[in-house]
Structure 1
């Protein structure tokens, strides 16, 4: 796919997003002319239609930052719409239930939503209604298979202070988990400094992953040549492991590298990093070279992996 074609498709999707949010009125301060935001309304809907949900369940289901969700839940609780009920089988677990007032609010939102959609549909012919429903089904089925926005974390570009965090956490974690010495931290610091000093936005990128208001991961794509990019400094905090974050970060690197016009994405890792190596292999990278070294400790084997884009 050419850059021109991709740019045109991006423009079309963004245009559709603006159109549909305007049509559905989700940008209004109160959804459906109610006192509740879109997020608050969705939370009330989930609690009305499912039993014994926890805050963690909502975080996963709605793809919300846990800190942001916590503030919304506190506001709904203060308004008397929800209550927290301790589990009878696990005292550490608290379920979220709607109060009588919460159920009334949810019922009102349900009726308002049905009325609004009904008004929109009756303005259309039977043929147009069928076309609309078919198109909606197509969009839902394509995006449900191809995109995921329900992770309990979110990704953002780098900001001031992030390079210090990346250097610090690499130094701490690799010393603790693999016994690597301060020379590795020095290498990470140099990579971060080079990235900032020579940053080329069209050809390079850093992703920072946040969860519960804390940074939990990072990765870089840096330019090696006009046709080759390097994936560098993939890191996932222990608290965020097992969530698919490492795979998501690598997928973002691959996607960006293709869009930036690179023909190959390469990386350097070490044989002891089993989890990272599995992610690379699953993504289609192939190991093309291996060489012993003692740069950060005794008996290490550095490996070069490549992915043709």
Structure 2
């Protein structure tokens, strides 16, 4: 996993390269005779249909005087026109002229071709990552400019049941995290994959369920309740994992909330889980749901000696 400093360095370098390659260093942009600010203004006017100069100032983040001069030039060039607002005679609305609509159509065609050509150099997975990453990063930059509080959150969907690719994806998240943080090897990853494959075949039974956190059609978290492998009407909480980008976002709590609700509805006498003592954030989360440490011992099944732990949540209902 990259350090914070390396992430910043990489993003800055990529941003400079994009600015150059997309032509923002030039005096004109997108095969027009207009500078970047004018091209952006026309695209925003098209997107809104009609808007005020003040609205454009807010969107572009430019000085009011700069926007006024630029709009005056576009009106003089016949690209934009100003009309009185039907709701307020004191307000002027800016809209595209017929010439302006033709210009914007050419801008969009040019830009679409540039983006499509660049995406054609990438494999489908990289294309998806670029699309999602750029949208998230752009939203975060906008939030910083507007001094918005909190982080820009992705829309997370919690779904249940088997989903194509989940065995591989959950195994991947476990393998990556535990190899990097705790030096677990292929034996651990194989155990996860084998266990998940067996469990997936038993999801038709009402006592078993799995919850997946999905962002932009990608699994970023999971937790499962195995209601039959322990017997004695006890449930086994398994495969609780989050993608690196989701830790601390509240997704883990959402997953556990659904899992514990299911356990209560199924009236299991207890819920058991096995972990080890280095996973402090996870332990705090478990304890917030009523789990208590019930057993502790030294074990070396994952390649190094660890203090393994069993946590139990008793159903008091």
Aligned-partner SS, 1:304: strand
User: Does residue 196 of the first structure (1) align with residue 170 of the second (2)?
Assistant: no
Verify: 1:85 aligned to 2:59, yes or no: yes
**Structure 1 counterpart of 2:175:** 171
Name the structure 1 match of 2:234: 228
- Name the CA distance, whole Å, in 1 between partners of 2:287 and 2:198: 27
SS of residue paired to 1:295: coil
- 2:216 paired residue number: 212
Alignment equivalent of 1:268, drawn from 258, 262, 274:
274
For residues 275 and 288 of structure 2, what CA distance do their matches in structure 1 show?
15
CA contact (8 A) 2:202 2:208 kept: no
In the alignment, structure 1 residue 290 sits paired with structure 2 residue 264: no
Correspondence for 1:306 among 297, 301, 312: 312
In structure 2, distance between residues paired with 1:305 and 1:289: 7
User: Over alpha carbons, which structure has the higher Rg?
Assistant: 2
Question: Given the alignment of the two structures, is residue 160 of structure 1 paired with residue 134 of structure 2, yes or no?
Answer: no
1:246 to 2:252 alignment: yes
Distance between the aligned counterparts of 2:179 and 2:218, measured in 1?
21
Q: Deviations over 1:166-211 (max 9, x none)?
A: 1122111211122111111011112101212223441111111012
In structure 2, the CA distance between the partners of 1:80 and 1:252, relative to structure 1 (3 Å rule), is: same
CA 240–86 in structure 1, closer or farther in 2 if over 3 Å, else same: farther
What is the distance in 1 between the residues matched to 2:203 and 2:218?
25
Change (3 A) 1:215 1:77: farther
TM-score (norm 1): 0.52
Q: Would the alpha carbon gap of residues 297 and 260 (structure 1) be closer, same or farther in structure 2, given more than 3 Å must change? A: same
Tell me how many residue pairs correspond in the alignment.
180
Q: Which runs of 5+ in 2 are unaligned?
A: 1-42, 63-81, 88-152
The structure, 1 or 2, with the larger RCO (C-alpha pairs under 8 Å, 6+ apart) is 1
> Cα distance, 1:278 vs. partner?
1.0
Change (3 A) 1:86 1:227: farther
Q: Report the 3-state secondary structure (helix = DSSP H, G, I; strand = E; otherwise coil) of the residue aligned with 1:180.
A: coil
Question: Tell me, what secondary structure is at the counterpart of 1:85?
Answer: helix
Structure 1 stretches of 5 or more lacking a match?
1-73, 89-99, 106-149
- Conserved? CA contact 1:182–1:296, under 8 Å: no
Which stretch of the first structure deviates more once superposed, 277-286 or 242-251?
242-251
Distance 1:151 1:254, change over 3 A: farther
User: Which stretch has the larger CA shift, 222-231 or 263-272?
Assistant: 222-231
